[in-house]
A and B are shown apart, each in its own frame.
Chain A
Amino acid sequence: MRRFRWISLGLGWLLLVATQQVVDRIIARIGDDILLQSELEELRAFQQLIEGRSAGRPELFEQLVRQWIVVTEAEAARFSPPAPPQVEAAFAQLADSFGSRETWQARLREAGLTEAAVRRLLERQLLVSSYLDYKFRPALTIEESEIERYYQQELIPQMRTRHQSPPELESVREQIRELLAQREISRRATQWLETARAQLRVEILDASLTP
């Protein structure tokens, strides 16, 4: 997180030197760390790039705070960051999803993002996903009864809704297990983020960030 911040500051400085117009500022303090206006803007641009719209400033701020929580803990746990090939593969996947390269570049310009920024965001996305899985999966235990319950109460009805014959349980057991694991990871991650957020001392310096 700190590296990212320094990178952000560095970029901001370069932009400042280059244009002598960009001014960055601290929007909040989290413990002894800070959040910058440029980080907020970057996330907003990323959402605009992919979703075509972005959340409001208060929600963007909360998303940044949640990212900070996960990244800070990952750094503290010395969790390995994503490998560069992973980042590149994700970058290529995203760029290809826009069809042509021209379309991709145009969308980048429109969003005000650079490819490096996108790589950076994708890297964080991979880091967050990996760490959450890493943090909560080892503690999970999926009972066989849960798998059977899902099979009977959810999968079969859904299949029938689609007018499809349900498969045998054994053929889909592992997938059901994975699905139940992902559900539990999501639940625990949400609970952990809410608890951590409530205990976090955040000093908001920008009034527009408060809902």
Chain B
Amino acid sequence: MSRRLQQSATWGLRLAGLLLLLLAGAVAILVRTGLDERWARGALVRQIERLAGGQVELQAFRFRVLGLRAELHGLTIHGREPIGTPPFFHADRLVVDVRIDSLVRRQISLDEVTLDRPAVHVRFDEQGTSNIPAPRLRRQPTPGKPFHERLFELAIDRLRVNEGYLLYNHVRVPLVAEGGGFQFALDYEQPADAEPRYTGRFAWKQFVVVARRYLPFPTDIAGEFTLTRERFLLSHLRWTLPHSAFVVTANVETLARPQWQVRYEGQLNLEDLREILRKPNSPSGLVDLSGQLDNTSGTLNLQGRYHARGITLRYTWFHAGGIETRGEYRLADGRILVPEFEARALGGVIHGRLEFTLADQRFRVTSQARGMSVAEVLAAVDNPTLPVAALGWRGSMDVDAETTWLRDFKSVESRGISIWAPPVVPPEAGRPVTARLHYHYVMDQDAVELYQSEISTPESVLTFDGRLGQAGSALRVEFRTEDLQPWNDFIYALREPGTERVPILGRVRWNGRVTGRLGHPTFAGHLRATRAAYGTLLWDEIEGHLNYSPDGFRLVQARARRGEAAAELEFWLELDDWEFRPEHEWGAEANLVRASTDGLQQLFHTRFPVHGLLTGQFRLRGTRRDPELTGLVDMADVTAWGQVLERVRGQLTVRKDELRVANAELRIGRGRITGDLLYRLREQIVEFDVAGAIVPVERIQAVQTERLPLGGELSFQLRGRGPLRAPQGTGSVRIVNLTVGEDVLGSLQASLSADGERVDVVLESSLPAGRISGRLAMTLSGDYPMQGDLTVEGVDLDAFIETAFHLGELTGDSRVDGRFHLSGQMARPETLVIEADISRLEFDYQYLRLRNEGPLRFAYRREEIRLEQAHIRGPDTDFTLSGFVRFSGDRTLDLRLNGAVNLRLVRGFDADLDARGVAQVNGAIEGTFTSPRITGRVSVREASATYGELPVGLSHLNGDFLFDRSRLVFEGVRAESGGGTLRLDGTVSYGERPVRFEISARAERVRIRYPEGMSWLAGGTLRLAGTTRGGLLSGRVTVERLFMSEGLDLTGWLVTSPVTPQAPPTTSGFLRNLQFDVEAFSTPDARVEWTGARFESEASLRVRGTWEQPILLGHVHLLSGEMTLRGNRYRVLRGDLNFSNPFRINPDIDVEAQTTVRQYEITLNVTGRTDKLSLSYRSDPPLPPSDILTLLALGRTGEETELRRATAETSPELGAGALLSEAISSQVTGRLERLFGITRFRVDPFVAATGTEQNATARITLEQQITRDLTITYVTNVSSAQEQIIQFEYNITRDLAIVALRDQNATFGFDIKFKRRFD
């Protein structure tokens, strides 16, 4: 650049700077002198006047360049109002913040505008003239041509209007708002064929009204309007709230006397209403509204419809959702009326009518609800004070009600009738319910009146009548339920949360009242429950007066029964808001009468082994934390720890840490135990002072054993105190008439002393014979070790001996001298040991007097005896014994026995074995009782033995028996039996059960009595093999003689008894299972005999079967013999008895016998089986069979018998006649017997009257065969003592007899009879 140019630039810059300085100075002069403001104000006023069309006054104007803020003070725009009236517009202050959008295009924006106290006055007179100024148009419209000019357009980012108002005639509307995005445009239009008008458009976003209590949240509003001379039309207004929106159109006709009509439509979200009302619990939901509001008829008219849905109420007393309602409403007579609305809620439908009175803002609803769900209704009203949802009721509900309230559910009052019906289909869960409730609820009184209402379920009925309210209640309630269990959920919902839940059951009747405040009710009334249960506490019945409130529980005049236990009681608890706290007091009084302790223990969850019937009075006092129970106890029929007591009495005091029994008395039979006892639980300290008097020892179960029963009278005195397990004290014990088993020993007395560390006992006796003394010391710690010594002198200790040695009953007195040392630990009885050193032992066993030789030493420890040294002597007895025997557990034994043993002692071990003699024993027994191993030898000389019911015994028994651990072997043992000799060989195996034996016997001429009534003389070889359960007797015997015992009617046995003869009954299992297989043959001269009979026979039989049912097979031939039968002596000509039935003795008999009666030889044949025996007869001379029988039976033939009967009976008719006459006579006799008691004599009036002879058949015939040849016959007529016939008949020979007769006429005669037979 050239120097010239640089110089030009420099001059230009200097000039610009000078101009700027001059301009700045001019501006400064303008600002300082206010010329700028005056100019600006003037320009502004002119502009406003042009826009408003009216005169503008501005008191002050300030403009701050910096910040571009203009402030207008006292801005007034006059309209066409009369002078003296407020101007069209006035604002005390108008602040405008400007923003320059574009200098080039000269565009500016109003950033923020604030109007302080603006006042807009709009007046229309009756002619319709207003004071609104008309804006000045920039250009004039052409008539007939449409004209439009934008008068002004504002866009303000933020507009504030403070403390302003709009006065439209006399209606004042506050103008207090602020918001953003305010836009306002006003146009002037003049259509070609219409009147000119102003049209405007406005919008204001997020504006809030200052009175926030009415609209606490920003909303948007936008609209369009048209204003003409006469009319204002809001063609569109949209008002948007945070969750709601409305569209309104309004039309105001005749601005002077406005008649307007507003139409609206929108959706109101009740959340917005909740914010407006500031009621967080107000209902929520959506309401669609549409309608119109106008005053065209001169009155305000409102009508529309609504549809609300999703309405949710959240009141404590009512909370439900999903409510839907719709209806039409209108405004009339100062009320908004919904003449008919429909609502759907709680499962039902509600129809009704709603009125809202504008004056007092009171709502009134008359409704009819149908089909509502009881469960949903209860859930809606459920609250902590009344948790009715827990009832679980199911059903449908109808309610006719009238409800009123103010504004937002203030002062609610409702009355109505609610009818509940159970569901048609039984519910799967819950209880069907029926109810009728007539109620009147008043919120202001916080009370509900219930009139004669009832609620019932299948098992319960609740009726109530009265008032229930916060201020006070007086509700009469009657409650009956057959089962309380369905109410448990409700009961526990009422109780404090977290309460332990136990089943509450029973059948309950409660009749009472509910009083007090609603939230603090008191239940008072009479309660009766049967089969009641509270957890594990059970009662059959409980009844009383109940008073239950949050402050306390009281049950008075109550009776409770459990089984046979009954109690009268009163019980009370102090509560605090239903809660029973440890510091709260409680008490009870109870009288029990014969209450079973089992029931009481169940009641109190104890399990003491005490049973009995308790009677007593008990009193409970104190706090829950620290209770005290006192009482008088009287128990009968007591069993305590296995001890039976007739009675237990005492005064009982139980505290938290102390148990005291005073004046206690226990009765056991005749005895009494009295005393006092104190036990401190925490310290475990005991104090006692007890005494017993004549307590029967046999009644003390603890000392009784089956094998060693003790008896006597126990008296004692014990006194002490100290730790439970180590007290200090003294005492004395005395047992009078101490009985051991059956033996009365005498008296024992002991003294005790304890010093807390040990107990010392000194024992002395007062026995009629002998003495017992001793000392015992026990340490009171650990397992209580003890030691003692007992000295016995000359004491009869039968029972001890039997018990200690497990012997059977001793058969005489015993005597013991010795010392016993006791040691061990009381807490561990298995350690107790008795060591005995018996200097003298004498006892009778199996009637043998045994005694020791030298000291007898043994130790006894828990069913085990260990013999160190025992030498026993007695009659034929001298043995030593050592080893041990254990009587329990594995029952092992190890004994050594050497010496002579009297065999009678064996019976003590086997009662069936009766042995005599001496056995030399040298043996050992080891093993167990069930499997003993015996080794050694037993030598028997001249012994005898019988065993059980065996028909044979042994005598002169000599032999050796060898024991080879598990087997007994004997060989060549000889004995005598039944008069014969025996040789025995065999083995007995006892190592394992059962014991097995195999014994052979060779016998010679041994007499055996078997079966009953039969005796055999036989010999042979027999073998018995088997076990103790049964065996087989086999062999071969020869029978010399068989003898039947006297009284055996062989004929009767053969004729009448087809069954097998029985062996003698036995209780031995061995004999019952003993089988036979023995061959029996007869010797050539064998005989069978019984009284009156004797036969030579030949027999070959086999005996089979069992002991109880033996079977005979084979035959018996009767070779010869004779027998007497019915007075006749028969000669057996031949006979055969064949036993072929393998199941029973039923031989085939073929016997021929012959006898002679008078001159006749009669041969008798008996044939057939015994059950079908047939007899045949023949005689020589021959006679008919009947005659033979008559001859055998009566000693005469039938002819002769008939001859004898000739005088008494001549024909069968007379025989029948006698029978009939007797029958007739008995009838008459019977009648007379009933009237006169006479049987032996009667008068037959007909016989007596007519004198007819008595029936000739009424006679008696007696006959007696004196000897074989002499017979006497006597016949008499019972009606006449004179009619007697006596006959003698004597058989001289077979063919010749003499008969002598004295007939009824006392005539004597003789007949000589001669018989001859012709073949």
Binding site for B on A (CB under 8 A): 43, 46-47, 50-51, 54-55, 59-60, 63, 66-67, 70, 82, 86, 89-90, 93-94, 96-97, 99, 121-122, 125-126, 128-130, 132-133, 155, 158-159, 162, 164-168, 171-172, 175-176, 178-179, 182-183, 185-186, 189-190, 193
Which residue of chain B has its CB nearest to the CB of A94? B1241
B513 to chain A, nearest CB (A): 65
User: Is B300 on the interface with A (CB-CB < 8 A)?
Assistant: no
B1243 contact set on A, CB distance < 8 A: 89-90, 93-94, 122, 125-126, 129
- The answer to whether A190 and B1245 have CB atoms under 8 Å apart is no
User: Is B20 on the interface with A (CB-CB < 8 A)?
Assistant: no
- The answer to whether B1232 and A129 have CB atoms under 8 Å apart is yes
Give bound CA distance, A193 to B40, whole Å. 159
A166 contact set on B, CB distance < 8 A: 1212, 1216
A183 contact set on B, CB distance < 8 A: 1227
Inter-chain pairs besides A175-B1216, A179-B1223, A185-B1227, 16 sampled, C-beta below 8 Å: A50-B1240, A121-B1236, A125-B1236, A128-B1232, A129-B1228, A133-B1245, A158-B1219, A162-B1215, A165-B1212, A175-B1217, A176-B1220, A178-B1224, A179-B1220, A179-B1227, A186-B1227, A190-B1231
11 contacts between A and B (CB under 8 A): A47-B1238, A54-B1237, A90-B1248, A121-B1236, A129-B1231, A158-B1219, A167-B1212, A172-B1216, A175-B1220, A185-B1227, A190-B1231
B1236 contact set on A, CB distance < 8 A: 43, 46-47, 63, 67, 121, 125, 128
Which residue of chain B has its CB nearest to the CB of A159? B1216
- The answer to whether B1237 and A86 have CB atoms under 8 Å apart is no
A63 contact set on B, CB distance < 8 A: 1234-1237
Residue of A121, A158, A167 with highest tally of chain B CB at under 10 A? A167
A68 to chain B, nearest CB (A): 10
* A63-B1236, A66-B1235, A186-B1231 known; A171-B1213 Cβ under 8 A: yes
Interface of A is mostly: helix
Which residues of B (747-766) have their CB < 8 Å from a CB of A?
Answer: none
| Neighbour of A182 across the interface among B1215, B1216, B1227, B1237, CB < 8 A | B1227
* Per-residue A-contact encoding for B1252-1289, CB less than 8 Å = 1, 0 else: 00000000000000000000000000000100000000
- The answer to whether A130 and B1216 have CB atoms under 8 Å apart is no
User: Is B299 on the interface with A (CB-CB < 8 A)?
Assistant: no
- The answer to whether B1212 and A164 have CB atoms under 8 Å apart is yes
Give bound CA distance, A190 to B1233, whole Å. 12
Give bound CA distance, A185 to B1228, whole Å. 9
B1246 to chain A, nearest CB (A): 9
- The answer to whether A167 and B1245 have CB atoms under 8 Å apart is no
Give bound CA distance, A190 to B1220, whole Å. 22
- The answer to whether B1224 and A182 have CB atoms under 8 Å apart is yes
3 tightest Cβ-Cβ pairs between the two chains A and B: A182-B1227, A167-B1213, A175-B1220
- The answer to whether A99 and B1245 have CB atoms under 8 Å apart is no
Give bound CA distance, A47 to B1202, whole Å. 40
Give bound CA distance, A88 to B1232, whole Å. 19
Give bound CA distance, A182 to B1236, whole Å. 18
A175 contact set on B, CB distance < 8 A: 1216-1217, 1220-1221, 1224
* A155-B1216, A162-B1215 known; A97-B1241 Cβ under 8 A: yes
- The answer to whether A132 and B1241 have CB atoms under 8 Å apart is no
* A99-B1281, A155-B1219, A172-B1217 known; A50-B1241 Cβ under 8 A: yes
User: Is B65 on the interface with A (CB-CB < 8 A)?
Assistant: no
- The answer to whether A93 and B1224 have CB atoms under 8 Å apart is no
* A89-B1248, A129-B1245, A130-B1245 known; A60-B1237 Cβ under 8 A: yes
Give bound CA distance, A55 to B1224, whole Å. 25
User: Is B83 on the interface with A (CB-CB < 8 A)?
Assistant: no
A71 to chain B, nearest CB (A): 10
- The answer to whether B1235 and A70 have CB atoms under 8 Å apart is yes
- The answer to whether B1231 and A189 have CB atoms under 8 Å apart is yes
User: Is B811 on the interface with A (CB-CB < 8 A)?
Assistant: no
| Neighbour of B1249 across the interface among A86, A125, A132, CB < 8 A | A86
B485 to chain A, nearest CB (A): 62
Give bound CA distance, A4 to B1237, whole Å. 19
- The answer to whether A179 and B1248 have CB atoms under 8 Å apart is no
A115 to chain B, nearest CB (A): 16
User: Is B1239 on the interface with A (CB-CB < 8 A)?
Assistant: yes
A197 to chain B, nearest CB (A): 11
Which residue of chain B has its CB nearest to the CB of A129? B1245
A122 contact set on B, CB distance < 8 A: 1243
A62 to chain B, nearest CB (A): 9
| Neighbour of B1237 across the interface among A59, A93, A162, A167, CB < 8 A | A59
Residue of B1213, B1216, B1228, B1239 with highest tally of chain A CB at under 10 A? B1216
Which residue of chain B has its CB nearest to the CB of A69? B1235
- The answer to whether A190 and B1234 have CB atoms under 8 Å apart is yes
A186 contact set on B, CB distance < 8 A: 1227, 1230-1231
B1228 contact set on A, CB distance < 8 A: 129, 182
User: Is B1211 on the interface with A (CB-CB < 8 A)?
Assistant: yes
Which residue of chain A has its CB nearest to the CB of B1230? A186
A176 contact set on B, CB distance < 8 A: 1220
A94 contact set on B, CB distance < 8 A: 1241, 1243
B1215 contact set on A, CB distance < 8 A: 159, 162, 164, 167
Which residue of chain B has its CB nearest to the CB of A170? B1213
B728 to chain A, nearest CB (A): 76
A66 contact set on B, CB distance < 8 A: 1234-1235
- The answer to whether A86 and B1248 have CB atoms under 8 Å apart is yes
Give bound CA distance, A168 to B1228, whole Å. 26
Give bound CA distance, A86 to B618, whole Å. 94
Give bound CA distance, A133 to B1230, whole Å. 13
| Neighbour of A46 across the interface among B1234, B1238, B1248, CB < 8 A | B1238
